[in-house]
Structure 1
Amino acid sequence: MPDVRFEASEPEEALTGGNMQAVVRVGGTVRRIAGPWTPAVHALLDVLKAGGVAEAPRPLGLDEFGREVLTYLPGAVLDDVPAAERWSTSMLEQAGALLRRVHDASTALELDDLTWRSPTREPVEVVCHNDFAPYNLLVRGDRLTGVIDFDFASPGPRVRDLAYLAYRIAPFAEDALDESATTPDERLARLRRLIEAYGIAYDTATVLRAAADRLVELAVFTDARAGETGRDDLPQHAAMYRRDAARLHRLVIAQGTGDPPQQQPAGGECGA
């Protein structure tokens, strides 16, 4: 992959998001830290482009500082648009449909000898984004036009990504319940709409259980990141994930079946 040379005359603009690392815009490109996972992510993005997923950025290589270079995607972050638009049924359905397209296109990627930032999860069905959520989705007008931040992607089961999207967009996340102005019944109805938009007939208990398991993993990862970085906000995030995992497990039980969320070792994750 060719290097893309940084032009000193182009100013750097810090972008919002990038919870785990700095992200800057330089002209029509985005620059961020590269690592052993970057070739795998760039291979994935190339496959998505070939599969017709125009909503994902294109990889352009590395700059002279060793940062990865991606095309800049215009649009507003879904998390930043007015609540009526953010929580609309249309956005929920578009998000589910886009996730399905990303997953389906990712199956063309040859996985041998690729190094990922996040652990591979079984069963491997697709390459999961692992942070497919409103803060990584872009909109223009009433259309969902982009998905960004693939750096924590890794192979895994489809429901893993769908469950985390449901957690963030139904929503079941504690920090979005009041803002979304949804009732428990409405959130379950939105979950069913999301599953329908994705296009595989998962039952709601399966998705909720997967979300609870993911949140337990995410809490462990976030606690580890807090120790590494000293960020005093991260333990609060981890505590919320554990509360939300317990609440989702109660929902699973209320729907008839469910084992408790599984404790997982810390591994590469995102979403804090």
Structure 2
Amino acid sequence: MPESSLPGGFINHVVRVGATVRRPASARTGFIGDLLKMFEASGWPGAPRYRGIDEEGREVLTYLDGHVAWEPQQPLAVYSDESLLRVTQLVREFHDLTAGTALAGSHEVVCHNDLAPKNTVYQPVGGALRPVAFIDWDLAAPGARIHDVAHVCWQYLGLGPSVGDASEAARRLRLIADSYELVNCRDLVSVILWWQDRCWRGIEAAADSGDLAMIRLRDAGVVTEVQEAYQWVSDQRVNLDRALR
């Protein structure tokens, strides 16, 4: 079958072959395969299905049709409260599925660790685009619920200097915490800052060691962008924390 490159992949070269997606395998392919097979066995529709390794050593996943929000400008429905609530519900669903399993080990759940609009498939539901699934599970690992919830807050709210209304961001931050029913929501802003600090430092360190993908990210200005986002959250921390009390 012919292959066609899928847009949006900045780190891995991902292609579509018929009704499947092929992506480079890694040392974590076994874990990710087991995770996706568990989702399939449970009937959870929010992730692609794992179909093994092809003759070129690539992971084979089912292709999820829909709109992937990887470009900077998106339809308003992608950023709506309704879509945000559905994202949060999907996160809670797969967290609850993985809690107490061998894959989570001694941790609360298995986390996706890269939840963002660019890794979300949207489909028309009731006349508007709504999130239906997450893709790019290659960073999934055992972790704490709050880690994924904080990443959702950072990425789906676009927390950073481009936020026009900090009070609106604070309202939506509380919306996410309440929708998820997060127990330790007072720590949420601290974990958002932890993610941002970890992100830019990780890119820098990997780029300095010669990782070509991370060099491309740094050259594209991602380190500076994340540092500025970190500073914005730090400056707004009192207001954001207040919304979670």
TM-score bracket, normalised by the shorter chain, equals 0.7 to 0.9
Structure 1: gaps of 5 or more residues = 1-9, 115-122, 258-272
Which of 193, 203, 210 is residue 222 of structure 1 equivalent to?
A: 203
CA distance in 1, matches of 2:74, 2:12: 26
- The answer for the alignment partner of 1:208 in structure 2 is 189
Residue 147 of structure 1: which of 134, 154, 159 is its match?
134
Aligned to 1:89: 81
Aligned match for 1:130, one of 102, 108, 113: 113
Q: For residues 171 and 3 of structure 2, what CA distance do their matches in structure 1 show?
A: 43
Between 1:248-257 and 1:126-135, the stretch displaced more is 248-257
Query: Deviations along 1:182-231, whole A, 9 cap, x unmatched?
Result: 4100011011111122122443x421110100111111111134332173
Q: 190-199 or 92-101, which moves further after superposition?
A: 190-199
Offset at 1:108?
A: 5.2
Distance in 1 between residues matched to 2:151 and 2:77, nearest whole Å: 20
Q: Which runs of 5+ in 2 are unaligned?
A: none
Is 1:47–1:109's contact at 8 Å kept on the other side of the alignment?
no
1:165 paired to 2:147? no
Are the equivalent residues in 1 in contact too, given 2:189–2:240 (CA < 8 A)?
no
- Any conservation in 1 of the 2:85–2:176 contact (CA below 8 Å)? yes
User: 2:215 matched to which residue of 1?
Assistant: 231
**Fraction of identical pairs, as percent:** 30
Match of 2:66 in 1: 75
Shift of 1:34: 0.5
Q: Could you say which residue in structure 1 is the equivalent of 2:17? A: 26
Verify the 8 A CA contact 2:14 2:23 in the aligned structure 1. yes
- C-alpha separation between the residues in 2 aligned to 1:72 and 1:215? 30
Partner Cα distance (1:183, 1:253) in 2:
15
| Aligned: 1:192 with 2:135 | no
Structure 1 residue 234: Cα displacement: 1.6
RMSD: 2.3
Residue 233 of structure 1 and its aligned partner are, at CA, apart by: 4.2
Work out the CA distance in 2 between the residues paired with 1:127 and 1:211.
18
CA deviation vs aligned residue, 1:108-146 (integer Å, no higher than 9, x gap): 54138x9xxxxxxxx821111000111001111133222
Structure 2 counterpart of 1:241, one-letter code: V
Moved more, 60-69 or 139-148: 139-148
Quote the Cα distance in structure 2 between the aligned partners of 1:253 and 1:184.
Answer: 11
- The alpha-carbon deviation at position 232 of structure 1 amounts to 4.6
Shift of 1:255: 5.7
Cα-to-partner distance string for 1:14-58 (whole Å, 9 max, x where unaligned): 112222211110000000010111000011111122333212011
The alpha carbon displacement at 1:240 in A equals: 1.9
Q: Which moved more, 1:79-88 or 1:220-229?
A: 79-88
Equivalent position SS for 1:19: coil
Question: What is the rounded CA distance, in whole Å, between the counterparts of 2:113 and 2:74 in structure 1?
Answer: 25
> Hey, what's the Cα distance between the residues in 1 that align with 2:22 and 2:100?
26
TM-score norm. by structure 1 comes to: 0.78
* 1:218 partner amino acid: C
State the one-letter code of the partner of 2:196. Answer: L
CA shift in 2, pair 1:79/1:192, >3 Å = farther
Could you say which residue in structure 2 is the equivalent of 1:251?
236
